[in-house]
Amino acid sequence: MKQFMLPVPPDKGGRVCLSGDDYHYLVNVRRLVPGDVFNARLPSGEGVLVRVCSVEKGRLAGVCLPLPGEREAADLPGKAPVPPILLFQALPKGSKMDLIVRQAAEGGVREVVPFYSEFTLPRIGEGGEAKRERWQRIVKEALQQSNSPVSTSVRTPGTKDALGRYWQNLREQHPQALGLLFHQDPLAKETLHDYLSKEPELVVLTVGPEGGFSPGEAAWFLALGFKPVVIGNTIFRVETAALYAAAAVRTILLERTSWITRSPRL
């Protein structure tokens, strides 16, 4: 059953009140009436059940109940806890970012951070806040459809310098943060398994626009402590690269209790 993303947490009594588009979706689309129960997820990511108490005057009132039997992937046999995964995505052309955001939400990415790189075509500051609001609506739809337990958020597009400052703040808060630079040139000296075997407390994936990153940009990221990664010899479309990277990293992290890295033979 699809989950509903609650826009705000419940009050101290566990009660929620929904109106506007949320009311329309639950009452007119899903046809919920008092006494019905539906799956929902709080802004914190916690799964709950919501029992509908009343439906009147454009407002749905309900009470949040524990979701019995809910288990995160980390509780499943052979699965390990997955640290937060963030995506630093250089803005691509046209509406490709919409698909990237949707796939990131479905793939368990905690936060999408769009930024303007050297090869980015959209102009800096061009409708940034309006884009973020649209992307948040796309995220909500994706989370409700996919039942992902990760509450994805999207930041307003910023400059590369602002991105660098944000990365430094993340490293101050998470000393074991791992930054991965997915690059088209063979800069990597270690494998993805090698990087992820060090048990990072936060993983940042950095993906370029059409044409990738310039040599100067790649050097800039490496100077900030990012680790270069090249996956195979396939050239991905920009809307595929982030999904591929997130899927590869998340799968390796989920299964890291069942594999070990071996030192290369001398």
**pLDDT tens per residue across all 266 residues of the chain:** 578 989 889 999 999 999 998 999 899 998 999 999 999 988 877 889 999 999 998 999 999 998 876 544 444 444 557 899 999 999 998 889 999 999 999 999 999 999 999 888 766 666 778 889 999 999 988 988 888 888 899 999 999 999 999 999 999 999 999 999 987 666 667 788 889 888 899 999 999 998 888 999 999 999 999 999 887 677 788 888 899 999 999 999 888 777 665 555 54
Residue 254's pLDDT is 86
SS3 content of the chain, % helix, strand, coil (to 5): 35, 20, 45
Residue 88's pLDDT is 97
Residue 212's pLDDT is 85
Residue 75's pLDDT is 41
Longest dimension (CA), the chain: 74
**Domain boundaries of the chain, sorted by first residue:** 4-66, 85-258
Euclidean distance between the first and final Cα of the chain, in Å?
A: 53
Measured CA to CA in angstroms, residue 41 lies from 38, 65, 101, 208 at distances of 10, 11, 19, 32
Three-class SS state of 84: coil
Q: What is the CATH architecture of 85-258?
A: 3-Layer(aba) Sandwich (3.40)
Residue 229's pLDDT is 87
Q: Cα torsion at 206, 112, 193, 185 (round to 10°)?
A: -20
The DSSP secondary-structure symbol of 81 reads: P
Q: Closest by alpha carbon to 262, among 162, 195, 194?
A: 194
| DSSP conformation letters of 200-265 | -SEEEEEE--TT---HHHHHHHHHTTPEEE--TT----HHHHHHHHHHHHHHHHHTGGG----PPP
Q: What is the CATH architecture of 4-66?
A: Beta Barrel (2.40)
Residue 74's pLDDT is 40
pTM: 0.79
Q: Closest by alpha carbon to 177, among 260, 255, 83?
A: 83
Note whether 209 and 119 are within 8 A (CB): yes
Residues 174 and 255: their CA atoms lie apart, in Å, by 22
Residues 102 and 142: their CA atoms lie apart, in Å, by 6
